[in-house]
Structure 1
Amino acid sequence: MNAYLLIIIPLIGAVLAALWPRRKSRPLFLPAVGLAHTILCFLLLAKPEAVEPAAWLAFDPLARAILPGVSLLFLVCACYTVGYLRLKEQDNRVFVPALLLVLGLLSAAHQARHLGILWIATEAVTLACVPLIHFNGTPKSFEATWKYLLVGGTGIALSLLGSICLGYASLHGGGSGDITFTALLAHGPNLSRAWVLTAWVLLLVGYGTKMGLAPMHTWKPDAYGESPGIVGALLAGGVTSVAFMALLRIKSVVDAAGEGAVASRTLLAIGLFSTLVAALFLLRTRNFKRMLAYSSIEHMGILCIATSLGGPGVWAALFHVWSNGLTKGALFLSAANLQRVADSSSIDDVRGMSKVLPRTSILFVVGMFAITACPPFGPFFSELLIIRTGLDAGQGWAIGLFLVCLLLAFFGISRIVFAVVDGRPRLKKPNPAHLKESAGLILPPLFLLAASLWLGLFTPDILKGAWSAAVLQLFPMP
C-alpha cells in the first residue's frame, strides 16, 4: 500500500495546487509534497515491502535502486522553485500542478511491472512535461516545445509498436500473451526470437528518444535550453532515468530470450555514438544551457555503454544514475541563477559572472569539475567503475574511444564554464532586482553538489545493496 502512496500523494497535491487560489503561496505545495514523497521513498528503501510476483505496480528492487534518487532531486528542486517563482510574474497555476503530476507519473513508471502500464506512465510523463518546457512563453520556448512533442511523439509510437511486438513474442512462443515482466522473464526461452528482436529495436529507439540518445537527441538542446533550470534538472535527472529504467527491464527480457549478445552490441554502439556526438557538439556550442543538454546526451550514452557490459556494468550504471542526477541538478540550478540575472545563456552575452554572482559562479565551476568526472565526486567513481568493468570484459577498444570522448567533453564544458565566470562582467540585459544570491537559490545546488561528493566518498551500504538487488532481479543467476 505504501508503494501506491508514492503515486497518490503527488496526484492529490497536483489537484489541490490547481484549485489553490493564491499564486504566491501555491509553490509551497512542491516542497511539502516532495518532502513526504522523499521520506516515504527512503523508508521503503530501508525497509522494503514484499513484492507480489504478479503485481502490475510495486516498489521492487529496480524501483528501489532509482526512484529514491529521483525523489531527492525533486525535493531539492522544489525548495529552489519556491524562491525562483517569487521572482516570476507569470501565473503558476499550471506549472506547479504539472510538476507534481510529473512526480506522480514518474513514481508510477518506476514501479510499473507490466509492459503496458510502463508505456502509459512513461508517455504520460512526456505529455505532462509540455507546459513545463513552455513556461517562459517565448517564441523560442514554443519552438522547443513543438520539437519536443514532434520527436517525443515519434518515440511514443515506436515504443507502443515495440510493446505490441513483445506481446506477440509471448503469444507466438506458446504463452498466454501476459506482458508482466515476471511472466516475460519466466517464459523467456520460449519467446519468439524474431518478434523479440523486432521489439528490441523499436523499444530501443522509442525509449532511447526519451533518453535523448543520438541520433534521436534533436529535441534535447532546445528543450533544455529554453525551459526553466528546474525543469531541465528534472528532465535530465528524472525523465531520462525512467526511460533508462524501461530499457533495463526490456533488456532483461531480451537476455532471457537468448538474444542478450545482440542487445549488448546495439547498446554499446549507440552508447559510443551518443558520447561521441555529444563531445563534438560540446566543442562547438556557445550556450551554457545547451551545453548541459549535450552533457546529458553524453551521460545517457555512458549508461548504455555500462549496461552493455552485463551485470557488473548495470551496477555501475545504477551508481551513475544517482551521481549524474545529483550533479546535473546542481548545474541546472546554478545555470538558472546565471540566466536569471543575465537574461541570456549565450557566452557571447554573458561574461565575468564571478564578479556579479560569486557564489553561483563557484558552484558552477565546482559542478563542471564534478560532471566531467574529476575526483572525488560521484561521477568520477561511477565512470571509473565502468572503465574497469569494460576492461575486464575485454572491451579495450570501446573503453579507449570512451576515454577520448570524455576528454573532448571536458575541454568543451570547461571552455564554456570558464568563459561565463571569468573576465570583466558583460551582460546582455542585467537585471539589478535579481542580483541577490539568497539562501533559497544557493543552498539547493550546494546541497546537490555535497550529496554528489558524499556519494563518491562514502557510498552507503543501503544503496549498494539496492543496486545489487536490482541487478539480481534483472539478471538472475542460473
Structure 2
Amino acid sequence: MFFVILAPLALAAVAFAGPSQARRPLALLAGAVLHLGGVAVLWVTRPGPALGGWLELDPLARIVLPMTSALFCVCAVYAQGYLKRRPDRDNRVFVGGLLVLLSAMTVVTLSQHLGLLWVAIELTTLSTAPLIYFDKTARSLEAAWKYLLVCSLGIALALLGTFFLALAGAGPGGPRSLLLGDLTRAGAALSSPWVRAGFVFLLVGYGTKMGLAPLHSWKPDAYGEAPGVLGALLSGGVTSVGFVALARVLQVCSAAGEAPFARDALVGIGLLSMALAAVFMIGQRDFKRMLAYSSVEHMGILTLGLGLGGAAASGAMFHTVNNGLTKGVLFLTAGNLHRSYGSKRVDDVRGAARRLPVSGPLFLAGFLAVTGSPPFGPFFSEFSILNGALGGGRWVVGALYLAFLSIIFVGMGATVLKVVLGDPAGAPEVKAHGDSWLTAGPPLFLMAVVLLLGLFLPRELASLFDAAAARVGG
C-alpha cells in the first residue's frame, strides 16, 4: 500500500532533479505505470488496513483509486506527445507537480483518518496551482492565483469542520481520534450540534474543492487556462477525490444519526450546481469554459446521488468512474482543438471533424457520453440516480433533475456542434498541431472504456458500487 504513495514521490524527485528536458516526461510515464501496477496488485490482493488503520482499501477506495490511476496513466502517455510539442516551456515543475498530485490523490482515497485526509487534499491544491500557469500568460497567472486562494479558503473552512468533528467526540467516553472507525463506532454518543456544525464547514470546504455551486468560481478560469492534460486530471481526478472526502464525512453523520440533515443539504447543493451549470451552458462561447461548467454539473449529480441514498448513491459511485473517464476524453480532445486552431472561442473554431479526423469526432462523442446519451456509461449511472429519486418518492427532485439535464444537453450541444461541424476553411490554423497517435490515441482509449462500461458492467463492479454506497450509509 505504501508503494503506490511513495513511488510517484520518488519519480517526482527524479523529475525535479533531472537535467534533461527531453527525458523528464519519461519519469511521468514511469511513475504512472508503476502506480497503476501497484493499484492492480492491491485490487487483487485486497490487503487489510495499514499504518494503524489510517490507510485502508475500502469499497469506495477500490472504485476511485483504479479510476484515477488509469486516468493518470492515459494522461501520462498523452503528455509525452504534448510536452514534445512544447519545447519552449520548462517542464520540470509540470512533471514533478503531476507526480506529487498522483501521490496526494492516492492518500486521499486510502485515508481513514480525517486529519490525514485534510492534509492530502491541501497537497492536491499546492501541487497543481503552479501547473495552471504553464503557458505563462496573464490570464493563466490570474487563474492560478484564483484557484489557489479560493481552494485554500475552502480547505481552511474544512479544517474548522474537522476540529468540530473532533469536538463532537469529546463527550462521554471521549475524546476519540479522528479515525473513521472510532467516530462511526461512537455513533449516537457524538454531540449532534458539533456534528452538524462540522458537516456544514466540511461541505463548504470540500465542496469548494469539488467546485459545487456557489463555490465554483475558480473552475471556469482554471479549466479554461490550464493545459488539457491538467484539466483532465483536475476534472476527472481531483474532483473525484474531493467527492471521496465528502462521502467520508457523510459516513460519520450517518453513524451519529444526522443523516437526514446531511442528505437534505447534499440534495439542495447538488440541484443548485446543476441549475447554475444549465444557466451558464446556454450560449457559451468558450468551449473549455463550457467543460468547466459541465464539471460543476456532474459534481452536482454526484452530490445529489449521495444525498438521495439507496440506489441513487450506488449510481453516484458508478457515475464517479464514468465522469472521470469521460472528462478525460473531453479535456484531452479540447486541448488538441485548442492547439490546432490557436483559439478556444467558438467564433474561431469550426469544422474540427475535418481538420482533426480523430479528435473532432471524439469531442462530439465525449459530449454525447457526458450528457447521458445511450449506450455510453454515464447514461446508466445517471439513470440509476433518477431511479433512486423516483423510487424514494422524491418526484420534485426527479423532475428538476431531468429538466436540468435537458437544458444542459441543448446548451452544450449548440456549442459542440458549432465546433465540430462546418467547414474549417478560413478558420485560424496552427499547422504543426494535427492529430498524432500520442495525442489522439489516449482519449480514443478512454472513449472505448466509457462505451464498454455502458455495454457491459461486470457483476463484481456492480456489487462494489452497492458496497460503497452501503458504507457511507446509502
Bin of the TM-score, shorter chain as denominator length: over 0.9
* Partners of 2:217 and 2:311 in 1: CA distance: 31
Q: In 1, distance between residues paired with 2:254 and 2:342?
A: 49
1:340-366 C-alpha deviation (Å, 9 max, x unpaired): 111110101212222211221111111
Q: CA deviation at 1:428?
A: 6.2
Quote the residue 2:325 is aligned against: 326
The 4+ residue runs of structure 1 with deviation greater than 6 A are none
1:291 is displaced (CA, Å) by 0.7
Alignment-derived partner of residue 116 in structure 1: 115
Alpha-carbon deviation of 1:426? 5.7
Q: Aligned-pair distance for 1:465?
A: 3.3
Letter in 2 for 1:463: L
Deviations 1:82-115 (A, max 9, x none): 0000000201011001000000011011111111
2:175 maps to 176
Per the alignment, residue 464 of structure 2 pairs with 466
Distance 1:426 1:264, change over 3 A: farther
Aligned match of 1:282: 281
Deviation, 1:398, is 0.5
* 1:270-298 deviation digits (Å, cap 9, x = unpaired): 00000010011000321100011000000
Corresponding residue number in structure 1 for 2:75: 77
State the shift of 1:52 in Å.
5.8
**Counterpart residue number, 2:41:** 43
Which amino acid in 1 is paired with 2:34? A
Map 1:190-205 onto structure 2 (within 5 A).
Answer: 190-205=189-204
443, 446, 452: which is aligned to 1:445?
Answer: 443
Select the residue among 1, 13, 16 that pairs with 2:14: 16
Q: Report if aligned partners of 1:349, 1:427 keep a CA contact under 8 Å in 2.
A: no
Q: Is the 8 Å Cα contact of residues 75 and 229 (structure 2) preserved in structure 1?
A: yes
Deviation at 1:371, TM superposition (A): 0.6
Give the structure 1 partner of residue 350 of structure 2.
Answer: 351
* SS in structure 2 of the partner of residue 434 of structure 1: coil
Determine the structure 1 residue equivalent to 2:239.
240
Q: What is the alpha-carbon distance in structure 1 between the residues aligned to residue 42 and residue 66 of structure 2?
A: 9
- Give the residue type in structure 1 aligned to 2:201: L
Residues paired across the two proteins, number? 473
Q: Which shifted more, 440-449 or 53-62?
A: 53-62
Instruction: Give me the whole-angstrom Cα distance separating, in 2, the residues matched to 1:135 and 1:59.
Output: 34
TM (norm. structure 2) is 0.97
Q: Percent identity?
A: 47
TM-score of the superposition, structure 1-length normalised? 0.97
Contact 2:4 2:106 in 1 (8 A): yes
Worse-superposed segment, 351-360 or 130-139: 351-360
What is residue 453 of structure 2 aligned with on the other side? 455
Cα distance per residue 1:360-392 (max 9 Å; x no partner): 111111111111100010100000111111111
The whole-number CA distance in structure 2 between the counterparts of 1:429 and 1:388 is 46
Which residue of structure 2 aligns with residue 152 of structure 1?
151
Contact 2:336 / 2:439 at 8 angstroms: preserved in 1? yes
Secondary structure at the counterpart of residue 370 of structure 1: helix
Gaps of 5+ in 2: none
Paired residues for 1:233-312 under 5 Å: 233-312=232-311
Tell whether the 8 Å contact from 1:327 to 1:452 is kept in structure 2 after alignment: yes
* Farther off after superposition, 339-348 or 305-314: 305-314
Change (3 A) 1:36 1:192: same
Look up the equivalent residue of 1:81 and give its one-letter code: A
Residue 315 of structure 2 corresponds to which residue in structure 1? 316
The equivalent of 2:59 in structure 1 is: 61
Letter of the structure 1 residue corresponding to residue 75 of structure 2? C
8 Å CA contact 1:224–1:232 kept in 2: the answer is yes
3-state DSSP of counterpart to 2:224: helix
5+ long unaligned stretches in structure 1: none
How much is the aligned-residue C-alpha RMSD, in angstroms?
A: 1.4
Counterparts of 2:422 and 2:275 in 1: how far apart (Å)?
30
Q: Decide whether aligned partners of structure 1 residues 186 and 54 sit closer, same or farther in structure 2, where only a CA change above 3 A counts.
A: farther
Give the Cα–Cα distance (whole angstroms) in 2 for the partners of residues 218 and 182 of structure 1: 35
Change (3 A) 1:254 1:421: same
- In structure 2, the CA distance between the partners of 1:462 and 1:47, relative to structure 1 (3 Å rule), is farther
Q: 1:461 to 1:93 in 2, by over 3 A?
A: same
Is contact 2:254–2:472 with CA below 8 Å preserved after alignment? no
Deviation at 1:172, TM superposition (A): 2.9
Query: Aligned equivalents of 2:235 and 2:241: distance in 1?
Result: 10
Match of 1:397 in 2: 396
Cα deviation code 1:296-319 (max 9, x no counterpart): 000000001101112432211110
- Provide closer, same or farther for how the CA distance between residues 48 and 138 of structure 1 changes in structure 2, counting only shifts above 3 A: same
Partner of 1:97: 96
Once residues 267 and 212 of structure 1 are traced to their aligned partners in structure 2, the CA distance between those partners, rounded to angstroms, is 14
Is residue 281–residue 411 contact of structure 2 (8 Å, CA) maintained in 1? yes
Q: Decide whether aligned partners of structure 1 residues 453 and 173 sit closer, same or farther in structure 2, where only a CA change above 3 A counts.
A: farther
Q: 1:189: which partner in 2?
A: 188
Question: Are the equivalent residues in 1 in contact too, given 2:305–2:312 (CA < 8 A)?
Answer: yes
* One-letter amino acid matched to 1:293: A
